[in-house]
Every structure is written in structure tokens, then in C-alpha cells.
């Protein structure tokens, strides 16, 4: 009888300890709700008063975040504003010019470029156009897709992996030698990737295989649960790439000083995410953290307007955010190297001109 009571106490203690420490660890790993709560109630304002004389390029400029970010720059004296999207951004340009006319403000030079990032050819064309720019102070990479059904790109990759990761990585490399501050800009030029909370709940599906291609493993996914995590998985790959790119830029003596970082805008109901309204769990998660898209765009504008001390960091409203726990561990560092190496092989085989950029980053 005494032994039974002792066993019961021991089991009870184990359960209590497990719940006390296990549940917080679980949430920290897969669902850090405090971050969502903080963003929902965050109200960032644009910190930079003027972008006079500067050039800003925004990919995904037709999107809810990209279009609003473009207007924030336009209302703050930006000289050249480049709007990039797979769809014509002429409507966004007209809206910006009308708003500025009503406000009695000068109009920037607004360039509208169409680029289909579903293929490497579209990325190469965008890189070629960007060479026309005299300066390139701020690059905000908001282009992305949320694919609810599995499809493959012309390059043979699942479309989320293609657009959100591979094409984003390629465009950043093609832009890297072109980043140059205008005379009026006291800080190094900034290239900002857009990251997401969605990486956390997707992380348990991002295990690295012992053999074979890691990228192909994530691309050759199944419909259903795996496809539902493709957005987070593709953004996880991009965050690995962004951190490695920042580290290599810091170590490259021949490259003029540039800032590479990521920014988390928070969540919002937009045309991209509206299909989740019909899905219970995604809807509950979104409603817990969702805020006005204008606030999200403001966070992104601040993220791409930082000084050099934000290099390699994740920006979130007025603060920096930590990398997900699985990326901080040694296994995450190894996965990052694998992502870098596999991405390099794919891009160099399809886009020959990127080889020189990789070689520069090897120094």
C-alpha cells in the first residue's frame, strides 16, 4: 500500500513538472503567443521623417502590405519609387499620385515594373532592369504567395518554395551589387526580407533528411497538412538564407557596406489570407494576432529603414525579435549551411551570372 502511494506521488510529481516546464517549452518552440499578442496591440509609426533624394524598390507592390508601404514612402519625399509585381502596378501609381496631389505634396518618379517571380527568367529580367538605377537605398521584398493547393513552377519546384524562397533568394543576390546609398542617405543601403510567425508552427515539419536534397524534400510535399505548412516552410528556408547572406556580407571585404535583415509585419486579413476565414484553426490563430494592414506596412517600412546595427537581425515593430529556437540550435546552424549550399547549386546551374556573386561572398 505504501509503495502504491509512493508511486502515485512520484507519478504526480512527474506530471506536475512536465506540465510546468513542458508546456512553456512547447509554446516557445511552436506557438509563442506572446509575440502575436504584442504585435496585435503594437502601433508602430514611421520613424524616418524624410526619404528625400533616395530610391526605394518594393516587390509585391500590388499586395496589401507592399502597396501601403509604397504610399508611406511616397508621402515622405522619396525621389524614386520602383513598384514591382507580377501584375501591373499602374493602379497603385495612380492612387499615390492622386493622394499626393490632394495633399499638395510633390510626386516622386514612380517606375512600374512587371516581373513574374514564378520563374528564374522573371528574376533575371528584374535584376537586369535594376541595373538602370543610379542608386538603390531600400529594397523591401514583400512578394510572396500562399498556395492552398500543390502546384509546380516552370522550374520544377512547389510554387511556395519557388516564389517565397528560391526566387526571393535569387533576386536578393542579383540586387546585392546594385545596392548603393544616395548622397542624401547617411546610412548603408538596406535589403529586407519579409518573415512570418508561420515559421513556428511549421517548424516540426522541417526536419533535415540524412541523405538526399533538403530542398527537394520540402518541395516534394503532399496535399493536405504538408501543403498547409508550405508557406511557413518556405519562409523558414528564406530566413535561413537571409541569416547566412548577412553573415557572408559582413565577412566580404570587397563588398561595400550594406545591411541585410528580415522584418516581421505581423498578421492581417488581406486578399492573400482571406481564404483562411473558412478554416477554423487558421481563422482562430489569425483573429488572435491580426491587425490593420496599414500597421503591418508601417512595421515593414521601419524594418527597411534601419541603421547598420540591425544587420542580420529580425525587426518587429520598434524592436528586434529572436530567431526561432530550432534555428538557434547547432542542428539549425547545420541546416542553414545545407540550405545555402543546395540553393547555390540550383541557382548557379540555372542562372550563370549569379556564380560571380557567390564567389564574391566566398571571400
Domain boundaries defined on the chain: 30-361
| Residues linked to residue 246 through DSSP beta bridges, in sequence order | none
**pLDDT of amino acid 278:** 73
* pTM listed for this prediction: 0.91
**pLDDT of amino acid 21:** 53
| 287-320 tens-digit pLDDT | 777 899 999 999 999 999 999 999 999 999 888 9
Q: In what order do the strands lie in the sheet with 319-321?
A: 109-114, 80-85, 55-59, 138-141, 190-194, 259-263, 314-316, 319-321
Q: Which positions ≥6 away from 234 have C-beta within 8 Å?
A: 160, 161, 163, 164, 165, 218
Span 193-214, average pLDDT: 93
Span 270-274, average pLDDT: 79
Q: Which positions ≥6 away from 339 have C-beta within 8 Å?
A: 214, 215, 237, 240, 241, 244
Span 48-74, average pLDDT: 98
Span 73-93, average pLDDT: 98
Span 310-333, average pLDDT: 95
* pLDDT-wise least confident of 49-53, 252-256, 265-269, 343-347: 252-256
Query: Which helix or strand (DSSP H or E) is residue 114 part of?
Result: strand 109-114
**pLDDT of amino acid 7:** 63
Mean pLDDT score of the chain: 91
Q: Which positions ≥6 away from 291 have C-beta within 8 Å?
A: 39, 40, 42, 266, 267, 268
DSSP 138-171: EEEE------SS--B-TTSSBHHIIIIIIIHHHH
Look at residue 69 and tell me whether its pLDDT is greater than 70. Answer: yes
Q: What is the C-alpha to C-alpha distance for residues 341 and 336, in angstroms, rounded to an integer? A: 9
- Superfamily in which the 30-361 domain is placed by CATH: NAD(P)-binding Rossmann-like Domain (3.40.50.720)
Q: Which positions ≥6 away from 43 have C-beta within 8 Å?
A: 295
Look at residue 339 and tell me whether its pLDDT is greater than 80. Answer: yes
Look at residue 109 and tell me whether its pLDDT is greater than 70. Answer: yes
Q: What is the C-alpha to C-alpha distance for residues 341 and 140, in angstroms, rounded to an integer? A: 25
For residue 355, give the 3-state DSSP assignment. helix
Q: Are 142 and 63 in contact (CB under 8 A)?
A: yes
Q: Are 74 and 81 in contact (CB under 8 A)?
A: yes
**pLDDT of amino acid 8:** 58
For residue 131, give the 3-state DSSP assignment. coil
| 138-148 tens-digit pLDDT | 999 999 999 98
Look at residue 280 and tell me whether its pLDDT is greater than 90. Answer: no
| 151-184 tens-digit pLDDT | 999 999 999 999 999 999 999 999 999 999 999 9
**pLDDT of amino acid 10:** 54
Amino acid at each position: 500500500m505504501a509503495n502504491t502511494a509512493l508511486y502515485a506521488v512520484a507519478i504526480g510529481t512527474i506530471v506536475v513538472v512536465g506540465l510546468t516546464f513542458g508546456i512553456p517549452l512547447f509554446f516557445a518552440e511552436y506557438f509563442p503567443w506572446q509575440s502575436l499578442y504584442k504585435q496585435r496591440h503594437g502601433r508602430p509609426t514611421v520613424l524616418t521623417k524624410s526619404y528625400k533624394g533616395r530610391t526605394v524598390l518594393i516587390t509585391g507592390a500590388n499586395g496589401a502590405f507592399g502597396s501601403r508601404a509604397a504610399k508611406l514612402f511616397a508621402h515622405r519625399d522619396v525621389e524614386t519609387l520602383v513598384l514591382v509585381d507580377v501584375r501591373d502596378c499602374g493602379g497603385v501609381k495612380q492612387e499615390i499620385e492622386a493622394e499626393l496631389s490632394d495633399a499638395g505634396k510633390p510626386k516622386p518618379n514612380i517606375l512600374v515594373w512587371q516581373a513574374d517571380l514564378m520563374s528564374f527568367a522573371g528574376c533575371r529580367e528584374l535584376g537586369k532592369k535594376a541595373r538602370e538605377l543610379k542608386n538603390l537605398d531600400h529594397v523591401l521584398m514583400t512578394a510572396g504567395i500562399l498556395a492552398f493547393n500543390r502546384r509546380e513552377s516552370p522550374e520544377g519546384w512547389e510554387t511556395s518554395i519557388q516564389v517565397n524562397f528560391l526566387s526571393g533568394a535569387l533576386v536578393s543576390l542579383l540586387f546585392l551589387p546594385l545596392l548603393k546609398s544616395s548622397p542624401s542617405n547617411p546610412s548603408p543601403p538596406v535589403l529586407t526580407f519579409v518573415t512570418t510567425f508561420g515559421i513556428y508552427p511549421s517548424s516540426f515539419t522541417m526536419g533535415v533528411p540524412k541523405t538526399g536534397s533538403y530542398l527537394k524534400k520540402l518541395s516534394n510535399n503532399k496535399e493536405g497538412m504538408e501543403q498547409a505548412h508550405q508557406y511557413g516552410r518556405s519562409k523558414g528556408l528564406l530566413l535561413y538564407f537571409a541569416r547566412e547572406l548577412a553573415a557572408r556580407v559582413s565577412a566580404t571585404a570587397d563588398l561595400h557596406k550594406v545591411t541585410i535583415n528580415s522584418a516581421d509585419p505581423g498578421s492581417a486579413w488581406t486578399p492573400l489570407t482571406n481564404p483562411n476565414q473558412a478554416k477554423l484553426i487558421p481563422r482562430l490563430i489569425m483573429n488572435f494576432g491580426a491587425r490593420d494592414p496599414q500597421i503591418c506596412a508601417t512595421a515593414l517600412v521601419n524594418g527597411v529603414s534601419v541603421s547598420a546595427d540591425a544587420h542580420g537581425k529580425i525587426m518587429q515593430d520598434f524592436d528586434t525579435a529572436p530567431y526561432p529556437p530550432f534555428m538557434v540550435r547547432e542542428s539549425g546552424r547545420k541546416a542553414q549551411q545545407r540550405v545555402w549550399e543546395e540553393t547555390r547549386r540550383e541557382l548557379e546551374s540555372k542562372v550563370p551570372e549569379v556564380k560571380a556573386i557567390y564567389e564574391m561572398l566566398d571571400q
